[in-house]
Amino acid sequence: QVQLVESGGGLVSAGDSLRLSCAASIRTFSSVPMGWFRQTPEKEREFVAAISRSGESTNYAGSVKGRFAISRDNAKNTVSLQMNSLKPEDTAVYYCAAHKYVFVGRNYITDNPDNYNYWGQGTQVTVSS
């Protein structure tokens, strides 16, 4: 069974930083693209950041470019999201996600949530003014 567990969320003030972490129980973690998404009650799930299996390629939503950074540690089966200069509009539940498929010889990356099949329970991030 695949299991993803997010942590690191909390209540912060605008301009502060948070680092989210996702612990992945995936046997072939080093071959699986990973992503971070966020969701509010009034909006559909929104892409935030993605990283290829090797960590060489990354992609970010325009709203977080220059502020957020995704990284992974394949030796520890973790993926992180460093969030700097947080804004109230960043308030959401943040989800870690794993791609549907394993990639052996291709450094694949995607921002399409339909291509992610495994999701964590989410961690709440609240940014006050």
Taking only the tens place, the pLDDT of each residue in 44-57 is: 999 999 999 999 99
What average pLDDT does range 102-109 have in this prediction? 85
What DSSP state is assigned to residue 100?
S
Residue with tokens 């498929």: 101
Here the tokens at position 61 are: 């939503």
Whether pLDDT at 101 is above 80: yes
Mean pLDDT of 113-127: 96
3-class SS string, 25-48: ECCCHHHCCEEEEEECCCCCCEEE
- Residue 77 CA to residue 28 CA, distance in Å, equals 9
pLDDT at residue number 98: 96
* Residues pairing with 23 in the sheet: 5, 78
Backbone Cα Rg of the chain: 14
Q: How confident is the model at residue 129 (pLDDT cuts 50, 70, 90)?
A: very high
Is residue 82's pLDDT more than 80?
A: yes
> Quick check: 15 and 129 in contact, CB under 8 A?
no
Per DSSP, 119 falls in state E
Predicted local confidence at residue 105, as pLDDT = 80
Q: Is the pLDDT of residue 103 over 90?
A: no
On the question of pLDDT at 86 being above 90, the answer is yes
